[in-house]
Amino acid sequence: MHELSLCRGVLQQVTRIAEAHHAIAINAIHLHIGPLAGVEVELLERAFPLVSRGTIAEHATLEVTRSVVTIYCAKCGNRCEPKRLFICNSCHSSVTELLSGDEIRIENIVLKKRVQTDHVH
Amino acid sequence: MCTNCGCNGGKQYTVQGDGFSVDHTPPGETVIVDVHRALLFDNDQQAARNRQRLTEHNITAINLMSSPGSGKTTLLERTIDELLTRYRIAVIEGDLETENDARRIRAKGVEAVQITTGNACHLDAVMVGSALQQLDLKLIDLLFIENVGNLVCPASFDLGQHRNVTLLSTTEGDDKPEKYPLIFRASDLLLISKIDLLPLLDEFDLQCAADSFASVAADTPLLQLSAKRGDGVTQWLAWLNDTHQQLQRSS
């Protein structure tokens, strides 16, 4: 539901990084998104061109890797990909800790660097 | 070959780190820059600043989340009536439009800052940070942040609160926790609100709601409440009181 504002957040962060690296363009942005991040990847992909138009990331491709949910069971110590959300596969306890699956992370970006133009006059 | 950043001078340049490491890639080249950073990094940093400011002022901040119309504002009105002699209270109200909720709170003699988010479906830490600027923090013990009515997005945005309280009203389905696991999972307390309406609502089963909640939030406490009739209000106030005392001791 807030995919537009998330796109703006991505753009803000990658723009700062691109500037620090003297880039003229961002070619690609690689995101990791978990199924519990509350993000519709398709909506994010549709929102991105609207937000990036006219910016350094205008022609960037958005690559999304979908991560999986993993939990740690406080009761039996098992780590697993739960078959039922938050429930331990081996002892069926719901007292579990989420290890991954709710993340939205910028993994890396591909930058095209500026050709040096520092002339001495 | 660069020994600082690991780029190999060959076909593929990579800069490891957090996005701001030293970059020895030659000009004009294409480079992969590692970032490994949460998208909500900026929000989370602002939330941490908010929380620190609140804690420094010995304020307990409660983030109230629920669907629209589950009784957040009514609960606040009742809470203010009951607690105003004991605590200094302020409220931050989040809504897409209108000052209506803030007006209802102000009518109780409590300071309220209305954030109208326009199209945004949730509050974020920056909005709350600027609302805090409008409040005299020295004059507050309990701060309630009434989030935008929505069971999806508010769960993802840390505001700097100390506790999350989620309301589930009896006029909604009793399987809501499993349908919207994130928000219920993030709760420190669940309030099943409007229980005075239970006799009229055959579809809502309290045990099913409790089971559904337990399956996503394990042993998080749950209270049944009617802000209108008064059921559960004593327990709710006791929870607030305990939470405030606990935070005072730990700060």
A5:B120 CB<8 A: yes
> How many structural domains is chain A composed of?
1
A21:B40 CB<8 A: no
Query: Would you call B27 an interface residue with chain A, using a CB distance cutoff of 8 Å?
Result: yes
> How many structural domains is chain B composed of?
2
B48 and B4, same domain (yes or no)? no
Task: Tell whether A77 is covered by a domain.
Answer: yes
Residue A23, helix vs strand vs coil: strand
Q: Can you tell me the distance from the alpha carbon of B94 to that of B38, in angstroms, rounded to the nearest whole number?
A: 25
Q: Can you tell me the distance from the alpha carbon of B197 to that of B94, in angstroms, rounded to the nearest whole number?
A: 26
Q: Per the structure block, which two tokens stand in for A50?
A: 């609207």
CB distance A65 to A103 below 8 Å: no
Per-residue pLDDT band for A120 (boundaries 50, 70, 90) equals: low
Per-residue pLDDT band for A74 (boundaries 50, 70, 90) equals: very high
How many Cβ atoms from other residues are within 10 Å of residue B153's Cβ?
Answer: 24
Q: Can you tell me the distance from the alpha carbon of B144 to that of B93, in angstroms, rounded to the nearest whole number?
A: 8
Task: Tell whether B243 is covered by a domain.
Answer: no
Q: Are strands A104-113 and A23-33 parallel, antiparallel or unpaired?
A: antiparallel
- For chain A, how big is the Rg over CA atoms in Å? 19
Distances (CA, A) of B190 to A4, B37, B164, B224, B235: 30, 31, 9, 9, 12
B222 burial level (CB within 10 Å; 0-12, 13-18, 19+): buried
- The parent domain of residue A8 ranges over 3-113
- The parent domain of residue B227 ranges over 41-236
Q: What is the pLDDT of residue B96?
A: 87
Q: Per the structure block, which two tokens stand in for B135?
A: 């409040």
Task: Tell whether A48 is covered by a domain.
Answer: yes
Query: Would you call B25 an interface residue with chain A, using a CB distance cutoff of 8 Å?
Result: yes
CB distance B114 to B34 below 8 Å: no
Pairs across A and B, CB distance < 8 A: 121
Q: Measure in Å the smallest separation between the Cα of B55 and chain A Cα atoms.
A: 26
Edge-to-edge strand ranges of the sheet holding B163-169: B111-116, B89-95, B142-146, B60-65, B163-169, B189-193, B222-224
Choose among B242, B149, B233: nearest CA to B191.
B233
ipTM tops 0.85: yes
Q: How many residues are given for chain B?
A: 251
Q: Are strands A96-100 and A70-73 parallel, antiparallel or unpaired?
A: antiparallel
Summarised one tens digit per residue, pLDDT across range B27-40 is 999 999 999 999 88
B138 and B208, same domain (yes or no)? yes
Summarised one tens digit per residue, pLDDT across range B107-145 is 999 999 999 888 778 899 999 999 999 999 999 999 999
Positions of chain B with pLDDT lower than 50, given as ranges: 1
Task: Tell whether A119 is covered by a domain.
Answer: no
B157 and B75, same domain (yes or no)? yes
Query: Would you call B210 an interface residue with chain A, using a CB distance cutoff of 8 Å?
Result: no
Element (H or E) spanning A102, and its range?
none
B165 and B103, same domain (yes or no)? yes
DSSP, res A116: P
CATH number at residue B94: 3.40.50.300
Name the residue among A1, A14, A115 with its Cβ closest to that of B27. Answer: A115
DSSP, res A73: E
Task: Tell whether A118 is covered by a domain.
Answer: no
Query: Would you call B16 an interface residue with chain A, using a CB distance cutoff of 8 Å?
Result: no
Q: Can you tell me the distance from the alpha carbon of A98 to that of A86, in angstroms, rounded to the nearest whole number?
A: 7
A105:B37 CB<8 A: yes
Task: Tell whether A120 is covered by a domain.
Answer: no
B28 and B102, same domain (yes or no)? no
Question: Which amino acid is it at B171?
Answer: T
B20 and B100, same domain (yes or no)? no
Summarised one tens digit per residue, pLDDT across range A13-37 is 999 999 999 999 999 999 999 998 8
Q: How many residues are given for chain A?
A: 121
B32 and B47, same domain (yes or no)? no
Q: Can you tell me the distance from the alpha carbon of B238 to that of B236, in angstroms, rounded to the nearest whole number?
A: 5
B87 and B72, same domain (yes or no)? yes
Q: What is the pLDDT of residue B1?
A: 47
Task: Tell whether B248 is covered by a domain.
Answer: no
pTM, two decimal places: 0.88
B50 and B72, same domain (yes or no)? yes
CB distance A113 to A97 below 8 Å: no
Q: What is the pLDDT of residue A58?
A: 96
Q: What is the pLDDT of residue B11?
A: 64
